[in-house]
Structure 1
Amino acid sequence: MFGLDKRTELSVLVLRDADVIAAGVRSALAEASPEERPGLERAAALVERAFTVSDAELRARWVHERLAQAGYEGPADSVQAIKTLRQAAPGLSLATAVRLSKDAAAYRP
């Protein structure tokens, strides 16, 4: 989920596997028995919906998940949230953590 950019600062990359998952579900659906079809059709619809999620939403979700896993419940852009986020992702630079926290706080689903 992370990579180095030209300034050697850690930056967030959004990875999407929805296309691979969708292909697997479509393949299973093509071979499905009548009993399996409803569940696989529902799964296919959920995977298709994953294609529409924006990169900003994925980054915000990632930040909120890290904060929740650490037991933090306050605002995503507070000093404590940034500290918690950096502890949850040790390689995260201060600048990147600040940017991600602000983006997560600003994101409105």
Structure 2
Amino acid sequence: MFGKKLETHIIVLNDLDDGREAVRRALETAGAEDVPGLQSALRILDEAASAEDPKIRWTREVLAKAGIDPLEREVHAVREVRKELPGLSLVGAVDMVRALNPDAKGR
């Protein structure tokens, strides 16, 4: 209302714990022929649970596609992230870009 811009918020849901627990329970009662497949499924779910934060991965992909090094050209990187996600606040974009460089957290 009255021309106020809406800010975009990013929420990433990652609920693999229930799936991993279900596979673990299935392993307890599985027949010998099903065990290798369930163990493989459990490894895949464990790897997915420990994978890189999706926001960081998305930011890295956006900047790689644009050919921008976020460490050398932070301002350009922030602008590119905001261009790809209209409505993202400046603070949100800066946080996402700085998350790519753990040494930048103190700035």
Same fold, TM exceeding 0.5? yes
Q: CA deviation at 1:18?
A: 1.3
Q: Percent identity?
A: 32
The answer to whether residue 46 in structure 2 is matched with residue 48 in structure 1 is yes
CA contact (8 A) 2:8 2:86 kept: no
Gaps of 5+ in 2: 1-5
Alignment-derived partner of residue 5 in structure 1 = none
CA contact (8 A) 1:81 1:101 kept: yes
Q: CA deviation at 1:12?
A: 4.5
Letter in 2 for 1:20: D
Gaps of 5+ in 1: 1-7
Q: CA deviation at 1:15?
A: 2.4
More strand by share: 1
CA contact (8 A) 1:67 1:85 kept: yes
CA contact (8 A) 1:86 1:92 kept: yes
Highest RCO, 1 vs 2 (Cα 8 Å, sep ≥ 6): 2
CA contact (8 A) 1:25 1:43 kept: yes
Q: Which has the larger radius of gyration?
A: 2
Alignment TM-score, normalising by the size of structure 1? 0.59
Q: Which of 85, 98, 105 is 2:101 aligned to? A: 105
The answer to whether residue 90 in structure 2 is matched with residue 94 in structure 1 is yes
CA RMSD of aligned residues (A): 3.1
